[in-house]
Structure 1
């Protein structure tokens, strides 16, 4: 569970550093997302060094890398589209709140059994806490709200699919390779939408430092940690770790930017924390945990 907790906490710095990069450069949020995936993918790939030479050239590996990148691109593009249509709070509430619900529903259908009472309780507490933490979102007209919620659900579905698809390892494909190349693929897929919006940035020390931090800490390291922990717990437990992102972001905002958190928000943060503690204690005690899944059987090697 350590790696999933680490991923959730590090993701919490992504929103703040991404917003800072946008303020420093005037970039559209979608362009910031593209930079985040591209820089994170480049850093993670460079860190692999000679291990890239052992990259399996099988159809299963190629499918997995493309799926990871495509789902990350869908998640990022849909989320930032939802923010533009509505607000950060509503987009975060619907996106992050829908992920464990979707994962729990798909898992129940796939395994043909209802979620355990502990799982249902954790999801209910987490979603309720997130709603209270986000507060009453300010929205625009009805059309923008409906469109924003639809995009938020698309983002949540994308991340839920990302969690479910990547839970089973592919033979010969390490977590590091999946992280690095998956992020690169996602960033490349975002370029057709991001380039027309403008991606030129001033190469000042402050901008470069912010961009490198965004690509390294809440992206390359965070997604690497998520991949490392994903295959050793239940899908719902992995999805719930994403709830740490808004909780961490709130703590950082209160600590460093002196934002005020009302009584309802404090109760929401406590509920969210309780849900995560109950979930993680269950996984640590192996009550609801699951062993690591076997790798997919390798397909025939793909020749160039």
Structure 2
């Protein structure tokens, strides 16, 4: 019985790893889509949630029923809209790397704080050490690039990134509490579809939703909606059934790690000694957290 439980928990952890790896393609894909179509961040976020949500809804077998289920869907939908819009707004203000550093770096800290305040987890030195090691590794991996922005632009970008971190942390904490009769595919699909509807007015007021639907644009949009959105988030919320919220948030740090690897392999970027050391520290922290959980 104990062996079966550990095997199940291991499978859930691998779902979190899968989600983090798929998210690693999201920032780059969204940035390429914005560059190719000229769409602003609210429109990118709306299209991403719409495609990802509708893809999941098509495969839903059991429709949500009851007030608790629809309340969860509405809450997740609003948080998803806030998270996506703020993240891409941060990317438009600063850069993909800096926005990711602040968003993904702050998320596990916020989740650990929420778990501690609610009494769901006793935050010991080991948990703090692992989180600190991960954040240091993330900082070394990405660095703090300076693109010549003025202080106001940097502060606004950092503010949007912190808001995105808060939204993701809230989604993680709430998603770790299952609702009877509501599976992850249904909750994620309907929530993301709702989130896309919420973002439509903001997107229409900030550059609009129109773009030329050529093959490149549609391909990037489909890639963004299916991989790092539909599959990744469904796997993430399924993994939250048994994994701790803090562990799940730390596994999300695979996103910048995979994103950096793709930049090196595909775009020809170079990773310096600090970046290599950061990647090693980040991997060490994730392995330690995975074994400890």
TM-score by length of 1: 0.88
Query: In the comparison of the two structures, how many residue pairs are matched?
Result: 279
**1:22 paired residue number:** 34
Q: Within 5 A, what are the aligned runs for 1:1-304?
A: 1-48=13-60, 51-52=61-62, 54-56=63-65, 58-111=66-119, 114-138=122-146, 140-196=149-205, 197-283=207-293
Q: Matched residue of 1:31: which SS?
A: helix
Look up the match of 2:9: none
Cα offset, 1:144, TM superposition: 2.2
Q: Deviations over 1:21-44 (max 9, x none)?
A: 222212112211111110010111
Inter-partner Cα distance in structure 1 for 2:115 and 2:168: 14
Check whether the contact 2:176–2:244 (CA below 8 A) recurs between aligned residues: no
In 2, distance between residues paired with 1:218 and 1:143? 31
Give 1:156 shift. 0.6
Check the 8 A contact 2:91/2:99 in 1, yes or no: yes
Could you tell me whether the CA contact under 8 Å between 1:87 and 1:138 is conserved in 2? no
State the shift of 1:81 in Å.
2.0
What are the ranges of 5 or more consecutive residues in structure 2 without an aligned counterpart?
1-12
Residue 106 of structure 1 and its aligned partner are, at CA, apart by 1.2
CA distance in 2, matches of 1:27, 1:257: 22
C-alpha deviation, 1:84, in angstroms: 2.7
**Per-residue Cα deviation, 1:228-280 (whole angstroms, up to 9, x for no partner):** 10121111101111100000000111111111111111111111111001111
Counterparts of 2:243 and 2:173 in 1: how far apart (Å)? 12
Any unmatched runs of 5+ in structure 1?
Answer: 284-304
1:204/1:112 CA distance change after superposition, 3 Å: closer
Looking at structure 2, the residues matched to 145 and 23 of structure 1 have their Cα atoms a distance apart, in angstroms, of 21
1:237·1:280 contact (CA, 8 Å) conserved in 2?
Answer: yes
Distance 1:201 1:108, change over 3 A: same
Question: CA offset at residue 55 of structure 1?
Answer: 2.2
CA RMSD of superposed structures (Å): 1.5
| Secondary structure in structure 2 of the residue aligned to 1:173 | coil
- Distance in 1, matches of 2:290 and 2:228, equals 21
Is contact 1:43–1:180 with CA below 8 Å preserved after alignment? Answer: yes
